[in-house]
Amino acid sequence: MIILIVVLFAVLGFVVSSRLKSKFKKYSQTSLKANLSGKEIAELMLADNNIYDVKVLSVDGQLTDHYNPMNRTVNLSPDVYYGRNAAAAAVASHECGHAVQHATAYTWLNLRSAMVPVQNASGKILNIVLIASLLGGFMLNLPYELIGYIVVGSYGVMTLFTLVTLPVEFDASNRALAWIKTRNVVTQDEYAMSKDALKWAAMTYVVAALAALATLAYYIFIFFGNRD
């Protein structure tokens, strides 16, 4: 069953990821009428939100764009940083949406940030338990029910993290789309492209959350589903 879950969501994830890349490639071919680069759009959105302590940087890779709250940087891949198209506008403004969330103490972002160390610790604990169970050793001496609580508890935290990530990502996209429309950064057609691109980007997080929920349900059934 766990193999079936992994394969199912791996295929679904591949389909969504391929669709996302296809959309970004398509919309990258449409030059913005405003002729603004991703870097310029990001800096403009930050300034409009009175955020002056966040730097916009270029990072290597494709679709590696992210906001880092630790050093307060908006990191854009070269295609987005230098791009002057609907896809670049969508990504640049989305990442700045996270910067705005940070500056305004957005509740879901604060919760997600607070969960990061707990989520990381849960991942390590889960890996230790699963590897130890496969290799034998001290885990075999623990009660089966206790192992179940450890596995379900650890994976439960990781699942909760993926769920908390959803409102953070959707809100960042909503902020981005509202701003580029109000600021006239994009035309009506370019806005539709940016919206579609961000929709498929959000779908990657939805698939991850569904996969986590399915896996958590599987672990709960395995360890506690056969109780009398």
**Paired sense of beta strands 73-76 and 66-68, if any:** antiparallel
The single residue of 95, 145, 169, 190 carrying the catalytic annotation is 95
Give CA–CA dist 163/21, Å, rounded: 23
Tell me the residue type at 86. Answer: A
Selection from 122, 99, 94 nearest residue 205 by Cα: 94
Selection from 207, 151, 150, 183 nearest residue 46 by Cα: 183
Q: Is the Cβ–Cβ distance between 1 and 196 less than 8 Å?
A: no
Hey, what are 149's tokens?
């609580």
| 169 in active site | no
Active-site positions read 95
